[in-house]
Structure 1
Amino acid sequence: MQTIKVNIVTPDGPVSETEADMVIAATETGEIGILPGHIAMVAPLQIGALRLKKGSSTENVAVHGGFIEVRPDVVTVLAQHAEMASNIDIERAKRAAKRAEEALRAKTDKLEAQLVELDLKRAMNRIKVYEMK
């Protein structure tokens, strides 16, 4: 079976360089599945899980925004932040979610509330991806 090369990069450096049979990503317009030979495209990513299917196993990555560039032989994820499920500190993510929920209840300024809501989404994404492993 053919595979596709997958590179996940953040401003802090590479997160993963691997190969997969299929890549599933949450884009701004919906979830997409990418197989080897896929047409070239670029799409903005949502805060969500990136799933790398390899045979019967799936590796999950928490991705917090950015872009996905697809070429027939390689997928490059340029993320603001990305974390492999195996590297997520679940207790830290739960504490961050709790702090964000409490801060969200206390915020009256619209901009501050939106920023805290993004913090909450990122924390919830990390928890979800951790639980998927």
Structure 2
Amino acid sequence: MADKSFRVEIVSADERLYSDEATMLVAQTTDGEVGILAGHAPLLGQLTEGGYVAITEADGDRRVAAVTGGFLSVAAEVVTILAETAEWAHDVDVTAEESALESAEAGSERHQLAKSRLSAAAALNR
């Protein structure tokens, strides 16, 4: 188990969603799912549309955020997520998002947002 922590910043166009210490981060990028631990090599990745970011905090708690678009940057002991949108999975209304996913046009912004929210909510329960 990792005993070192690193700083995680999650920022969207609307707000700074998260700024704290973590021992692990998992993000969905266009190249696949990537796991980050302290001391990870520098990295720049594009976040997937309709994805999520899972954070294991320094105290062991796990948090999951739905993110759409944007980038992941790993530099020194800081991981920065710059997302178009970001919100906590525990705030997702799963029933409403399932309905939105069904009614939205595939590939539309609303479809991607619903997909991201549902993906994050499912990851929260893993």
After superposition, residues 20-39 of structure 1 pair within 5 angstroms as: 20-39=22-41
2:100 matched to 1:96?
A: yes
Q: Which has the larger radius of gyration?
A: 1
Q: Percent identity?
A: 32
2:44 matched to 1:53?
A: no
Q: Following TM superposition, where does structure 1 have runs of at least 4 consecutive aligned residues deviating by more than 4 angstroms?
A: none
Structure 1 match to 2:123: 132
CA distance in 2, matches of 1:6, 1:87: 20
Structure 1 SS opposite 2:41: coil
For residue 27 of structure 1, report the CA deviation from its aligned partner: 1.0
CA contact (8 A) 1:6 1:76 kept: yes
Q: Deviations over 1:32-52 (max 9, x none)?
A: 111111122211110212111
Structure 2 SS opposite 1:98: helix
CA distance in 1, matches of 2:66, 2:94: 12
Structure 1 match to 2:76: 72
Structure 1 match to 2:45: 43
Between 26-35 and 83-92, the greater mean CA deviation after superposition: 83-92
Correspondent of 1:14 among 13, 16, 27: 16
Structure 2 match to 1:108: none
CA RMSD of aligned residues (A): 1.8
For residue 74 of structure 1, report the CA deviation from its aligned partner: 0.7
CA contact (8 A) 1:37 1:71 kept: no
TM-score normalized with structure 1 length:
0.79
Between 123-132 and 77-86, the greater mean CA deviation after superposition: 123-132
Count of aligned positions: 120
